[in-house]
Structure 1
Amino acid sequence: MAMSTSESAIPLEQQARLVEESKRSAAYQAVKDHLVASYTRIGIGSGSTVVYVVEAIAALGPGVTSNMKFYPTGAQSEELIEAAGLTLQFINKLPAGQLLDVAFDGADEVDDDLNLIKGGGACLWQEKIVATSAKRFVCVADFRKLSPRLGTNWKKGIPIEVLPMAAPRVLDELKQMGSHNPRIRPGLPGKAGAIVTDNGLWIIDAPFMPLHLLKDSSESGIQAGNGDNGVWAVDALADRLIKIPGVAEIGLFYGKNGLQVESGGQKPVAAYFGMADGTVEVKSDIG
């Protein structure tokens, strides 16, 4: 969601402060609504908003958190958990047949149906593993991530984790599918080569036209989103991308949520957005 004319007139320093305050408000509300004292296994995602999720959890005190274990999606969330004095555990240690009680994570963009683009920080595979290992996944973000359709505000493209040897072939196929200028994500400034994920793979960022929702076809009466003229629906594109040889995982979180399936739900049951005016907007499939 872009800032209005009046918001754009706010000094940059004040804008930055408002954004941080909005993230904190959303994080505290999400933790209040979804972290039950009896929970013992909590997933912690990556990104700037998750800093405040961990802050909100730690603020509950050891009387609430001492029996909880926290499962990170990457190095950043691992450091946050340890710095907050919370008990660190890893997803590969989750007992067979068990699920996390809840997982909190951010997003790069969220659409009207709670589909997500994630992977701006290159942790998308770990993030999807943790999210789909939880009974319920809760998204926490700020107002800039709220969008009617994926690809409307997030112009960098859908993050796709690929085998390095397959990257040229994947780029070719993405272009044939209608992606506009897909590219291998470069490494840090001053460092030659591609960014390398925690899994030793590369990231391709693939921009597409804004992705259709199911209701777009029903409202127009025309079946759309199957890739004709580069127009894709979220589910159809996700299904096509993951089938490209050399693709390990994609940054589209879509399909079912934890209320619709017992395990493996990729979409959040709720998304919390800290708004520029300090309020919190909640989009939810609960109830």
Structure 2
Amino acid sequence: MFHSPVQIAARLWHGYPRSLLKMGPLESAKKIAAHKAVNEYVQNNTVIGIGSGSTVVYAVHRLAERVKEEGLNVVCISTSFQARQLILDNHLTLGDLETYPKLDCAIDGADEVDAEMNLIKGGGGCLLQEKIVASCAQQFLVIADYTKNSQKLGEQYKKGIPIEVVPMAYVPIQHRIEKTYGGTAKIRMAVAKAGPVVTDNGNFILDWHFPQDLTNWNKINEEISLIPGVVETGLFINMAEKAFFGMPDGSVKEQSSNIQKI
């Protein structure tokens, strides 16, 4: 029996809210992944790290719904100006690391996740604060759509690995990375202003388009981090405990690591 594309889509999405059907497949996938993470991991009387980016918006909306419906007591720690405004706009309790240096979990997006749970983050320029908050969390959860899931880094994400650097040092760092590892490290230029992108911390970002034969990301991340003037890299190695990927058919693929935090 012949089924039209509309009938097939209706079957795939049977049982899902109509609001998801009105979205495009990527936005629907983001929302499903975000909701599953918040539903399964956010508990009462906890401190939650709130990441940055488009997928996290759905997580915060769902968190706000649960706080209202269930009366949860949750404190949120932001990773950027955007995340801070998102928390406040949804009437959630905003905290900081001075008051809450230990988090129960952090929920954030990613630009890419490979088969070994190595992440590229920082496409939105918030990598430093995102990594700080993630490092303080007992559980670090990644939420993303299916396009962010790769076998190896660089397979899907083609914009390079972000590296946050002190402005005066960006040229020496650029040359050193290119000479040591190959590829090209380009300063990220702003779209709506003249000149480079400036992070929330007053730094520049280099986007390193690396050779595809590189594999030892733990070693590479440590070496780049030690270059004078490098503030932080967008390589998140051995940090994420679980990733939730919203899939085109409305399901959620889960990927876990073997990380055990004390």
Fold conserved between structures, TM > 0.5: yes
Provide the secondary structure at the position in 2 that maps to 1:88: strand
Equivalent residue, structure 2, for 1:114: 117
Report deviation, 1:125: 0.2
Equivalent residue, structure 2, for 1:55: 61
Equivalent residue, structure 2, for 1:155: 158
Equivalent residue, structure 2, for 1:195: 197
Q: Write the mapping of 1:127-276 to structure 2, written as runs, cut at 5 A.
A: 127-189=130-192, 191-210=193-212, 231-255=214-238, 267-276=239-248
Provide the secondary structure at the position in 1 that maps to 2:151: coil
Verify: 1:72 aligned to 2:78, yes or no: yes
TM-score by length of 2: 0.86
Q: Which has the higher strand share?
A: 2
Aligned alpha-carbon RMSD (Å): 2.1
Equivalent residue, structure 1, for 2:30: 23
Report deviation, 1:177: 2.0
User: Match for 1:44 among 47, 50, 57?
Assistant: 50
Equivalent residue, structure 1, for 2:18: none
Cα contact 1:179–1:206 (8 A) shared by 2 = no
Verify: 1:282 aligned to 2:250, yes or no: no
Verify: 1:82 aligned to 2:88, yes or no: yes
Provide the secondary structure at the position in 1 that maps to 2:128: helix
Structure 2 Cα separation of the partners of residues 15 and 153 of structure 1: 26
- Structure 1's 283 and 22: CA in aligned 2 closer, same or farther, altered over 3 A? same
Structure 1 Cα separation of the partners of residues 183 and 23 of structure 2: 31
TM-score by length of 1: 0.79
Task: Give structure 2 stretches of 5+ with no counterpart.
Answer: 10-20
Equivalent residue, structure 2, for 1:259: none
**Amino acid in structure 1 at the alignment position of 2:204:** W
- Structure 1's 178 and 43: CA in aligned 2 closer, same or farther, altered over 3 A? same
Report deviation, 1:188: 2.3
